[in-house]
Amino acid sequence: MTSPLQFDPSPFDPANAPADALAVNAAILKRLETWDNWAAPIGVTRQLRREGNGPFPPPAVSDRAETIEINGKHGPIGLRIIAPSRPKGVYLHIHGGGWVLGGADQHDMWLERLADRAAMACVSVDYRLAPEAPYPMGPDDCESAALWLVREAKKRFGTDRLVIGGESAGAHLAAVTLLRLRDRHGLTPFRGANLHAGCYDLALTPSVRRWGAEKLVLNTRDIEMFVRHFLVRGGDVKSPDISPIHADLKGLPPALFTVGSRDPLVDDTLFMAARWAASGNAAALEVFPAGCHVFIGFPGSNTDRCLARIDAFMTKACA
């Protein structure tokens, strides 16, 4: 029998906002005052962000990372691997970026941390990005990567204890991948799902619709544009393969849901965690006061606590 999902409303009280989180939010709002993801062609925006010529510094790259290619439905798929010498488990990581931005090499420092602190071999998927490769190509790549890992993990890493997860669009794709493996292949190989600040309803939850123009990492228009690019060739936003909140969620692994209270996508996490638990799965939910969208990408006390929670979740899942 699973434990009941615990919900603590205190993170939504402004009085509980950590001073460092408020300072981070103010700095982000300042940086994004004149930045528009949609002012230039998507390829240009990706390059500016990668070079650190966008609103934030370029991501640090690990010299420990290994890149390999596997075969997929639409051609080769890159996998970026950062692993300790003796992994206790393997984490299939799916990066965020609204299905449009980002890459597997832009999370190296966090994946290094997981490798060192939780003894996880981290495999990050360089899935195809919209609008050049819209739905279902990105999800297809993630499905192929998961199937490869199921086949190869024991031989390559010495363990078949698997966890899946990601941030934002990556959390969405992780949920979709779990459903595809269960429904298309009869597989439930993952012991846990680490789902941070995900978008699970592409019809847009109330918190997204009500957010407005304030650009605390992203705003309502950004999310609408990301969905538009992902579904540029069409797709029903009520389909479970597009909006996994509409799926039958029975038989899925224990999940850790984390999100900030100042995230436009906060309702997605609150609703999905409740549905996950109501479907008979173990689910833990933690909302971090004043946390912005994917706040773990910024320094602060919320980030320290959240990453420690994720470390513990990984360790338990692979015990």
Q: Is 108 a catalytic residue?
A: no
Active-site position among 141, 201, 263, 268: 263
Q: Is 13 a catalytic residue?
A: no
- What are the backbone dihedrals phi and psi of residue 38, each rounded to the nearest 5 degrees, phi first? -110, 10
Distance CA 42, CA 175 (A): 26
Question: What tokens does 190 get?
Answer: 């993952």
Query: Position of tokens 């010299």?
Result: 63
- What are the backbone dihedrals phi and psi of residue 35, each rounded to the nearest 5 degrees, phi first? -95, 135
Contact 89, 162 (CB under 8 A): yes
Question: What tokens does 259 get?
Answer: 């999100």
Residue 240: count other Cβ atoms within 10 Å of its Cβ. 17
Q: Which amino acid is at 22?
A: L
Nearest by Cα to 261 from 2, 22, 52: 22
Q: Is 267 a catalytic residue?
A: no
280: left (phi over 0), alpha (psi -120 to 50) or beta: left
Q: Classify each residue of 98-136 as buried b or exposed e, where b means 16 or more C-beta atoms within 10 Å of its C-beta.
A: bbbbbbbbbbbebbbbbbebbbbbbbbbbbbbbeebbbb
Active-site position among 124, 168, 207, 261: 168
Question: Which residue numbers are catalytic?
Answer: 168, 263, 293
